[in-house]
Amino acid sequence: MATQTATTGNLEDAQNIVIAKARQTMEHNMPCVNLIERFTLGKGNKQLTVPKVGQMTASDLTDGVDIVSSEDIGLTTTDLTASEVGLKVILTDKLVRQFNEDVFAMIGVQMGNAMARKADEDVIALFSSLNGGTALGADNKYLKMQNATNCVTYMTAQKAPPPISVVHHPNAIGYLSNEAKAVGMTCR
């Protein structure tokens, strides 16, 4: 008696193929996008001009003596121009009919993750041109206690507006935490 296997004759074609539930690639939740201020463009507008004022200096007063100096508001402007990004996904009728789960929901999650990653990467691209750029470190270096202190000192000296935030890779923060623990041990 011959043994019948899944590959014998046309038996392979007659079998149903079970497809497991699709897995998603884990994505971060746009940590850097939360660092930027959002503006709303008016209908039909593609650009926004944002004014910024400088600092003024207050003077000591003497009773009965008029102030002789005046202050300039130091107005500068920055033009922000909107751009678009997008995705295109083509689903065949056959794929939609054969897939065991809602393929549209799965693709929607993937598209949302891609848009979030793109927005985050666009914000990260600004880091090299803002507030010292890579002068305070590099992407292949650990964040040590001295570097962290220098960053805080630098941003304070540059009069950076609050809130001041730090976004860093979880492994580098772990390294910094271990180094901080060692500093705490030597202070006792």
**Alpha carbon 25 to its chain's center:** 17
Range of weakest confidence among 5-19, 26-40, 52-66: 5-19
The pLDDT confidence band at residue 76, using thresholds 50, 70 and 90, is very high
The pLDDT confidence band at residue 4, using thresholds 50, 70 and 90, is very low
Q: Has this prediction a pTM greater than 0.85?
A: no
161-174 burial: b if 16+ Cβ within 10 Å, else e? eeeeeeeeeeeeee
Return the percentage of the chain with pLDDT > 90, whole number: 13
167 closest CA partner among 38, 36, 26, 35: 35
Residue of higher predicted confidence among 51 and 94: 51
Q: What is the mean pLDDT of residues 51-60?
A: 89
Q: What is the mean pLDDT of residues 5-29?
A: 63
- Under 8 Å between Cβ of 31 and 120: yes
72-95 burial: b if 16+ Cβ within 10 Å, else e? eeeeeeeeeeeeeeeeeeeeeeee
- Under 8 Å between Cβ of 106 and 14: no
Flag whether pLDDT at 7 surpasses 60. no
Residue spans per domain, the chain: 27-37+47-52+73-130, 137-188
Residue of higher predicted confidence among 184 and 25: 25
**pLDDT tens digits along 153-169:** 888 888 888 887 888 87
Structure-derived torsion over alpha carbons of residues 28, 32, 34, 39, reported in degrees to the nearest 10: -130
